[in-house]
Amino acid sequence: MTRSEDDRLSQIFAALANPTRRAILARLAEGEATVNELAEPFEMSLPAISKHIKVLERAGLITQGQKAQFRPCTIDITPLEEISRWTEQYRHIWETSFDRMDDYIHQLSGNQPKET
Amino acid sequence: MTRSEDDRLSQIFAALANPTRRAILARLAEGEATVNELAEPFEMSLPAISKHIKVLERAGLITQGQKAQFRPCTIDITPLEEISRWTEQYRHIWETSFDRMDDYIHQLSGNQPKET
């Protein structure tokens, strides 16, 4: 992994480390929305929401037109695919854990552990 | 999603938003290691590495014995499964994007778009 890929992953993870920003993404997954529409469900000022939107935009998670208040925001799922790929490299560990638990349950119930 | 689940996800994402902490996890995926062994590949002081380990521990990504210098750290992949599940909810969007790209390539090559 190059330095810039590493920095990019850090930026995506940091952008996702906030419940309001994740809620904004969940809203945009249903379709595009203006900043005003995004601000509505939150007890937050428009500048506060705009700040969150900027963090998501810098991480590449949303795209937005130039006239921020009126142009709709759109979700871009490319960074989420990157996160998903990064997480996948650890899948073999949790699948091994499930196999071990499965063997243990077999043993408890008096059966032989399954062949691996 | 409850408030505490939301806070937990934020804590996991924040812990992953750092290349050194992700490198520590990658090392621990190969097997347990002491703090000294973890510090070795990095040009960092032991206290700096210990600080990163504490962030990972608070996010539930690693477990560690009480005598930090001597007891090995172990990866706990439960939080990575949570991240994976969270990301999965957006999979339908990128799969739809792939389908659209597939249709477009079919059109370019003179074929009809596939049935959906």
How far apart are alpha carbons B37 and B73 in whole angstroms?
10
Contact criterion met (CB below 8 Å) for A61 and A75: yes
B16: chain A residues, CB-CB within 8 Å:
13
DSSP conformation class of A101: H
Chain A segment 45-74 residues within 8 A of B by beta carbon are: none
Interface contact A77-B88, CB threshold 8 A:
no
In this structure, of A20-24, A39-43, A101-105, A112-116, the range with the lowest mean pLDDT score is A112-116
DSSP conformation class of B70: T
Report field, pTM of the whole predicted structure over 0.90: no
Hey, of B61, B85, B93, B99, which one would you mutate to test binding to chain A, going by the most A CBs within 10 A of its CB? B93
Residue percentage of chain A with pLDDT more than 90: 55
Output the pLDDT for position B76.
94
Per-residue pLDDT tens over the stretch B38-60:
999 988 889 999 999 999 999 99
A22 in contact with B, Cβ within 8 Å: yes
Question: Quick one: residue B60, left, alpha or beta (phi over 0 = left, psi -120 to 50 = alpha)?
Answer: left
Question: Which among A82, A75, A85 has a CA at the least distance from the CA of A8?
Answer: A82
B89: chain A residues, CB-CB within 8 Å:
26, 29
Interface contact A29-B93, CB threshold 8 A:
yes
Beta pairing class for B73-75 and A62-64: unpaired
User: Tokens 């996948």 identify what position?
Assistant: A88
Q: Which residue has the higher pLDDT, A67 or A99?
A: A99
The answer to whether residue A116 scores a pLDDT higher than 60 is no
* Element containing residue B74 per DSSP (H, E): strand B73-75
For A80, which of B9, B19, B87 is closest by C-beta distance? B87
How far apart are alpha carbons A94 and B10 in whole angstroms?
21
B98 in contact with A, Cβ within 8 Å: no
All residues at 6 or more sequence positions from B69 whose CB lies less than 8 Å from its CB, including other chains: B34, B35, B36
Q: Is B64 helix (H, G, I), strand (E, B) or coil?
A: strand
Q: Which amino acid is at A82?
A: E
